[in-house]
């Protein structure tokens, strides 16, 4: 177990903000997670649980404990125990495994379903908290169950997918279960049959440009990676936390009023009454794409992504995102909210 006092968080946030915390605890096994739970339960310091820090904006030094999982094991789960069909493959990963390593491994082993989630930053534990999603796929479609240590008792518990109340970028871990559990493993259910989903955005078009009509899983993964790399900045080169805002879900009546005003406004139907509008499009319409405020800026190829242009402080990013929220509200009457955790 790692237990470091007055620890720099520079290596633990992809925004590249140089903040510190009072204590940093990292567990590598379920037993160590139970020890960490004991420390947290007895301490009167606040704490936050972080993954790779790819969804985190640090605006100050954190006067508390930062907890990270480094459980990096993997196990095939006995098919007999839970398989609904011979087609299913159940694999359990430690919460500290890099998410894209899960996707890469699943694709090369012929376990399908995660291809469209290629290259999403973050770790396995966060996939279950955040319900990461892209190109029409979401982690909730793969998650079978989540193993965690209950902080108050140190007990190891298991939650099934249906217990976790998954929705767009939401789960019970972000609300009533926040800071109640340390996630230790997540079991994903893959399929041995490859059923590519090419309908979102320009996936089909990008494949066809390469002369591919019916892609293999590898080809689909590589195309998704190319699309993401063309639009999203590499945090090692320019600090960022991926999508900074969530895409707002609005009522159909509001959508219809706006659609009459903005011809061709992009949107996704959520259900009969709700429509999701890409925040990146609204931010671009407000003239923010590519602009900066101090050392923080809006990425020039994807306006949903805020970037650290070099040495930005957390407060510079806050000034920028608050101004963007105001401008979007003034132009569209819609309130957008950060997807990143602002500490
Ligand atoms: N758009 C603009 N200008 C921009 C950005 C987007 O007009 O600067 C328009 C696009 O033209 C498109 C629409 O908005 O019509 C949606 O854009 P895009 O497909 O790039 O996706 P997004 O809604 O901006 C979401 C996820 C991403 C995921 C993509 C693709 C959220 C908060 N973000 O972004 O999530 O990669 O869809 O599925 O839901 C991530 O950020 O790492 C991520 C996984």
pLDDT digits (tens, 9 = 90+) for 13-26: 999 999 999 999 99
pLDDT in tens, 208-229: 999 999 999 999 999 999 999 9
In the structure, how many helices (H) and strands (E) does the chain have?
Answer: 9, 20
Q: Are 258 and 285 in contact (CB under 8 A)?
A: no
Give the mean pLDDT of the chain: 95
* Nearest of 217, 194, 186 to residue 75 by alpha carbon: 186
Å from CA of 305 to ligand 1 middle: 9
> Cβ distance 158 to 145 under 8 Å?
yes
Continuous segment of H or E residues that includes residue 71: none
- Residue 78 pLDDT grade (very low, low, confident, very high; cuts 50, 70, 90): low
Nearest CA to ligand 1 atom 36: 134
Residues 6+ apart with CB under 8 A from 29: 71
**Rounded CA gap, 146 and 154, in Å?**
16
Report residue 201's pLDDT band, with 50, 70 and 90 as the boundaries: confident
Which residues make up the CATH 3.30.465.10 domain(s) of the chain?
74-191
Q: Domain 239-342's class? A: alpha beta
Q: Which protein residue has the closest C-alpha to ligand 1 atom 7?
A: 281
The residue whose C-alpha atom lies closest to atom 41 belonging to ligand 1 is 243
What's the rounded Cα separation, in Å, for the pair 34 and 148? 10
Beta carbons of 147 and 184 less than 8 angstroms apart: yes
Q: Is 116 in the pocket of ligand 1 (CB under 6 A)?
A: no
Segments of the chain assigned to CATH 3.90.78.10: 239-342
Set 23, 34, 169, 221: catalytic member:
169
Cα–Cα distance measured from residue 296 to residue 315, given in angstroms and rounded to the nearest whole number = 9
Furthest-apart CA pair in the chain: how many Å?
60
And the tokens for 165?
A: 């109340």
Site to probe by mutation for ligand 1, drawn from 134, 199, 341 as the one with most ligand atoms within 8 Å of Cβ, is: 134
Report whether residue 266 contacts ligand 1, using a CB cutoff of 6 Å: yes
Pocket test for ligand 1, best of 278, 289, 297 (most atoms within 8 A of CB): 278
- Residue 246 Cβ contacting ligand 1 at under 6 Å: yes
Tell me which H or E stretch contains 41.
helix 30-42
Residue 230 has pLDDT above 90, yes or no: yes
Whether 339 is catalytic = yes
Distance, CA 267 to ligand 1 centroid (Å)?
11
Residue 80, pLDDT > 90, answer no
State the pairing for strand pair 305-308/239-243: antiparallel
**Closest C-alpha residue for ligand 1 atom 32:** 246
| pLDDT tens track for 289-329 | 999 999 999 999 999 999 999 999 999 999 999 999 999 99
Burial of 72 (C-beta count, 10 Å sphere; 0-12/13-18/19+)? middle
Instruction: Evaluate the CA torsion angle 215, 216, 218, 220 in order and state its sign.
Output: positive
User: Distance (Å, rounded) from C-alpha 196 to C-alpha 34?
Assistant: 40
SS3 content of the chain, % helix, strand, coil (to 5): 30, 30, 40
226 has catalytic annotation: no
Question: What CATH topology corresponds to 74-191?
Answer: 3.30.465
Architecture category of domain 2-69 in CATH: 2-Layer Sandwich (3.30)
Residues in the chain: 343
243 a catalytic residue: yes
Question: Which three-class secondary structure state does DSSP give residue 198?
Answer: coil
In tens, the pLDDT along 88-110 reads 999 999 999 999 999 999 999 99
287 contact partners, CB below 8 Å, separation of at least 6: none
The two three-digit tokens of residue 188, written as one number: 């994903």
- Look up residue 277 and give its two tokens: 């509008």
Ligand 1 atom closest to Cα of 302? 8
Stated as kind and residue range, the H or E segment containing 267 is none
């Amino acid at each position: 177990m790692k237990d470091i006092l007055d620890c720099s968080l520079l290596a633990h946030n992809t925004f590249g903000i140089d903040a510190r915390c009072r204590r940093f605890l990292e567990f590598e096994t379920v037993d160590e997670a139970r020890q960490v739970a004991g420390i947290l339960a007895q301490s009167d310091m606040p704490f936050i649980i972080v993954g790779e820090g790819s969804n985190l904006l640090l605006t100050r030094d954190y006067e508390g404990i930062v907890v990270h999982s480094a459980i990096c094991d993997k196990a095939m789960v006995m098919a007999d125990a839970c398989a609904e069909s011979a087609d299913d493959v159940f694999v359990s990963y430690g919460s500290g495994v890099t998410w894209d390593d899960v996707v890469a491994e699943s694709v090369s082993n012929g376990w399908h379903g995660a291809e469209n989630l290629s290259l999403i930053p973050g770790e396995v534990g966060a996939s279950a908290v955040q319900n990461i999603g892209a190109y029409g796929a979401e982690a909730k479609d793969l998650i079978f169950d989540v193993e965690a240590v209950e902080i108050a008792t140190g007990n190891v518990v298991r939650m099934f997918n249906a217990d976790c109340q998954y929705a767009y970028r939401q789960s019970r871990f972000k609300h009533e279960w926040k800071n109640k559990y340390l996630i230790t493993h997540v079991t994903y259910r893959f399929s041995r049959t490859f059923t590519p989903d090419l309908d979102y955005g320009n996936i089909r078009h990008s494949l066809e440009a390469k002369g591919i009509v019916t892609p293999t899983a590898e080809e689909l993964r590589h195309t998704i990676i190319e699309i993401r790399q063309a639009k999203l900045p590499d945090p090692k080169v320019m600090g960022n936390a991926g999508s900074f805002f969530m895409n707002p879900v609005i009522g159909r009546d509001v959508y219809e009023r706006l659609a009459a005003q903005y011809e061709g406004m992009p949107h996704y139907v959520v259900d009969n009454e709700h429509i999701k509008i890409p925040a990146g499009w609204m931010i671009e319409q407000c003239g923010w794409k590519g602009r900066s405020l101090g050392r923080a800026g809006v990425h020039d190829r994807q306006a949903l992504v805020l970037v650290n242009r070099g040495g930005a402080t957390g407060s510079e990013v806050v000034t920028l995102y608050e101004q963007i929220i105001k401008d979007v509200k003034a132009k569209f009457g819609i309130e957008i909210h950060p997807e990143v955790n602002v500490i």
